[in-house]
Amino acid sequence: MFRIQHMAFKKNTDMHGDGVTLSEISAPRSLDEFDVNIIDLSSEYIWRYHDRQMKIDYESEFNDLNRMIEESCSSKIVIILPQNIRYKNSYGANGNGSKDYLISKEIKELIGYSFEEWIGYIVQIPSCMLMYENTVTKIKGFEYEAAFHFSNEYVYDPNCVLTHSNLSNKNTTINMRDVYLTTLKIDSYDKLVNYLNCIGVIQLEEPVPEWILAVSMFDDELQKGIVVEQENIISECNEKIVIAKDKLSLNMKYKSILYTNGDELVAVVFEILEKLLNCDLSTFIDEKKEDFLIKLEDITFIGEIKGVTSNIKSEHISQLDVHFQGYMDKLSEENEQENVKAILIMDHQRTQDIVNRQPVHVNQIRLAERNGSLIVETSALLKLFEYWLNHKFCGIKDF
């Protein structure tokens, strides 16, 4: 892969792409870090001077580039000259009460005078070598405009001419003392890479033609067979990975009852209870009494589901008993009898690592036994569910 440094007035993001490092002319990287260094002088902000003299503010930066070019051992240098933009100087107050450059001239007016002198700070070129004339140069499907070309009078070796305009055959790129000078307008990454490949400073890989794919030689067929076989294996493995990840996600949902509370906890506990007890809780209406009421053939479960950061407290058990007694009163009023079991499903100390949680205090266990209630920790509920998944759950008697 080629390494290119593109230097401009400001980092030009239009030139951003593979192999290209963007720099500013005022702060270039070492030239020999790159195969090709582009010095792009196309910005109008380079061609300005704050005072009245015919100078440029970038004289010092140009001299630095000249020294770097002289000391470079291996890098190729390409200088992109400006189009016919305006040179401005004499910055000061204008008649409108604001400040601006008071003198402005087109670059073509400076050809043969100051312009070649300024370019000479970087690399020496003969005066009057540049000629103003708008042309178009076509290079492998791209069109490049140019406001100037290089006069044949100063091109002593025709082999130094690397690009020329269509129809008019004007010289738009020359190699002068191992420095490439171009008058072409290069304003995109694709145009830049195409141009550099054309003049031979980089070499792009030839695109693979479609017909070559049908040419079978050596052990092509054997290797193609191996590719197909291994791709099938990879496909099967990917399918297994997807299934495994989905199962892990489902497992994580069930394990969430070890740290959640509220509706999130209730929803997952309901799903587990439906599977364990082969019941349907979708029709259960929460009337802000018990959290669930499950009527089976020979037993009714009434219960509370809670997630708390503390250990189980007496108030949790007492609240369950209130719901239990209320339901028993309702049965009595309706002159009905049911085998009712009160269950408190608790995710206690839910913010603690499960291995660090304290056991339920004996006082709470005794209170639950006195009330005829059953405390089921969510960790124990998961164990029962694991038995069910492994076809080891024996039914209601396991509660």
Confidence at 154, pLDDT banded by 50, 70, 90: confident
Quote the pLDDT of residue 398. 58
Q: How confident is the model at residue 393 (pLDDT cuts 50, 70, 90)?
A: confident
pLDDT of 241: 98
Q: Is 198 helix (H, G, I), strand (E, B) or coil?
A: helix
The answer to whether domain 254-398 has CATH 3.30.200.20 is no
Distance separating alpha carbons of residues 182 and 171, to the nearest angstrom = 9
* 370 pLDDT higher than 80: yes
- Flag whether pLDDT at 287 surpasses 80: no
Q: What is the pLDDT averaged over residues 196-220?
A: 94
Mean pLDDT, rounded, for 95-110: 92
The pLDDT assigned to 396 comes to 64
In the predicted model, is pLDDT for residue 94 greater than 90? no
Q: Please give the Cα distance from 185 to 80 (Å, whole number).
A: 8
With pLDDT > 70 as the criterion, what percentage of the chain qualifies? 98
343 three-class SS: strand
Specify the pLDDT at position 205: 86
pLDDT tier at 155 (50, 70, 90 boundaries)? confident
- The residue extents of the domains of the chain are 4-199, 254-398
- DSSP letters of 132-195? EEEEEEEETTEEEEEEEEE-GGG---GGGEEEE-TTT--EEEEEETTEEEE-B---SHHHHHHH
Class of domain 4-199 (CATH, top level):
alpha beta
Distance (Å, rounded) from C-alpha 49 to C-alpha 103?
A: 10
Average the pLDDT over each of 69-83, 148-162, 305-319, 372-386 and give the range with the smallest value.
148-162
Is residue 76 within 8 Å of residue 35, measured between CB atoms?
yes
Q: What share of the chain is helix, strand, coil (3-state, %, to 5)?
A: 40, 25, 35
Give the CB-side neighbour count of residue 376, counting CA atoms within 13 A: 23
The edge-to-edge listing of strands for the beta sheet with 340-347 is 292-295, 300-307, 340-347, 373-377
Cβ neighbours of residue 169 under 8 Å, at least 6 residues apart?
none
Question: What's residue 289's pLDDT?
Answer: 78
If phi > 0 it is left, if psi is from -120 to 50 it is alpha, else beta; for residue 380 that is: alpha
CA dihedral 114, 118, 119, 125 (to 10 degrees): 50
Average pLDDT, the chain: 94
Quick: pLDDT tens for 291-334: 899 999 889 999 999 999 999 999 999 999 999 999 999 999 99
pLDDT score of 397 more than 80:
no
Q: Across residues 198-218, what is the average pLDDT?
A: 93
| Neighbour-count burial of 106, counting CB atoms closer than 10 A to its CB (0-12 exposed, 13-18 middle, 19+ buried) | middle
pLDDT of 2 above 80: yes
Confidence at 212, pLDDT banded by 50, 70, 90: very high
Q: Is the dihedral of CA 271, 275, 277, 280 positive or negative?
A: positive
| pTM across the whole model | 0.59
Does 4-199 match 254-398 in CATH topology?
no
Residues 326-355, mean pLDDT to the nearest whole number: 95
